[in-house]
Structure 1
Amino acid sequence: MTSIDPLFARANLVRSHAIGNRSADPLPRLLAQLVARAGSPTMIERATSRPWASALFEGRRHVIRLKLEGSDAAARQIRFIDGLEDAEWTLPDHFVADICVDALGEEADRSWIDLSALTIRDW
């Protein structure tokens, strides 16, 4: 059986501040740090975030596609991936429990990276 929360409207799906008694979605800050790590010019082609929970933890599951452009896109893609799992992320009230590369691709002067991340609410 499911219930509907009237405070959680469609317009509130991606916001960087708390909604009601929920904690803020860490996705906007995570995206900013990923783009900074990738270097410029980088575009966020797709980013989704949905609630996630286990018996002991709650958080959010994120799926992200970054598009790196420029003549050095392939080299920046390699630098981005190197050490990604060990990188430190600064997210208020959350921490990155898992982040991984799902797929990579290259075109003429472009590269793309598909990522999955799990952020856990820090009690």
Structure 2
Amino acid sequence: MTSMRHPRTATISVENAENAIRTPDPLPRLLTQLIARVGDPSLIVRATSRAWASALFQGRRHVILIQIGGSDALARQARFADGLAEVDWSLPRHFVADIVIDDVSRTPDGALWMELSALTIEDW
């Protein structure tokens, strides 16, 4: 399980992320792009990744919980969801085969919690 706070001063640019994040798991780079798409304030509360394979492909299955704060949280979540399946994610040696929002809930303090599932496949 991974938790990630994302100070804006430490953000890895998309151009340099391939060199900065060298891992067989594309999750760190996907998290960076998800947070950029959601906007501030937001927080990766939990992110898990496990190996996945079919007869023809191999990859990873990811489950991600994001907390979206701010008075415009609902509007930002709606913008995030709009066209999510068509986003061209930049993941070296991988591609996003499927990404969906599994659940959205609101806490009494007004924060929005969004749970995502994603399947990334190794690109040969």
TM-score (structure 2 length as normaliser): 0.80
Q: Aligned residues: percent identity?
A: 60
Counterpart secondary structure, 2:89 = coil
User: Are 2:123 and 1:122 aligned?
Assistant: yes
Of Structure 1 and Structure 2, the greater helix share is in 2
2:28 alignment counterpart: 28
Please identify the structure whose Cα radius of gyration is greater: 1
Give unpaired runs (5+ residues) of structure 2.
1-20
Query: Segments of 4+ in structure 1 off by > 2 A?
Result: none
In angstroms, what is the RMSD of aligned CA positions?
0.9
TM-score (structure 1 length as normaliser): 0.81
Counterpart secondary structure, 1:61 = strand
Shift in Å, 1:112 = 1.1
Give unpaired runs (5+ residues) of structure 1.
1-15, 19-23
1:49 alignment counterpart: 49
2:105 alignment counterpart: 105
Q: Does the aligned pair in 2 maintain the 1:74–1:106 contact within 8 Å? A: no
Residue-pair matches, total: 103
Q: Does the aligned pair in 2 maintain the 1:104–1:112 contact within 8 Å? A: yes
2:12 alignment counterpart: none
AA at the equivalent of 1:74: L
1:69 alignment counterpart: 69
